[in-house]
Structure 1
Amino acid sequence: MRRVALVLFASLLLIPSIVTAQEIISLQLTVDPTGYVRVDELVALDNYSVINSIPLLSDKIDALTVLDENGEPLFYNINGTSLEIVGNATLANITYYTASITSKSGEVWTVSLTSDVPVKIVLPHGAIIIDLSDVPVEITDEYLVMPPGNISVSYILPPPTETETSTSTLTSTSTLSSTQTTPESQPSTSPTTTAGASESLSGSFTTSGKGGSSGLVWVGILIVLVAVAVGALWYFKGKTGGNENSDDTTNIAQKISREDLEKKLNSMNLNDEEKKALLYIYDRGGRARQSDVRNELGIPKTTAWRMFQRLEKQGLVRVYKKGRENWVELTI
Structure 2
Amino acid sequence: MGQVVTPESLSLRIYSDGSVDIEYSVEPDPTQAQVNVTLFGAGYQDIIVVDQDGIILDWTINAGGIGVDSLGSSSVIVSYSTDSLTNKTGSQWTVSITSPVDTIFTLPIGAVLVGLSPSPRGISIIDNQAFISMPAGTSRISYLIGTAGTREHAIALLNNAKADVNDVLEQGIIIDEAEAYLAQAITAYQNEQYIQSEQYSTHASASARETLSLAASALNKINAAKSIIDAKRSQISDDIIAQAEDFLDQAETNYVQGNYSAGLESAEEAYSLVSGAPINQSGNQTLLIAGGILVVLVAAGYWYMSQRDTEQILQKPDTQQPDIDLDEVFRKNPHLRTDDKAILRMLEETGGAFITEIRGRFDIPKSSAWRMARRLEDDGLISVSKVGRETYLQLKEQEEEQ
TM range (shorter): 0.3 to 0.5
More helix by share: 2
Give the TM-score normalised by structure 1. 0.47
| Structure number with higher strand proportion | 1
TM-score by length of 2: 0.39
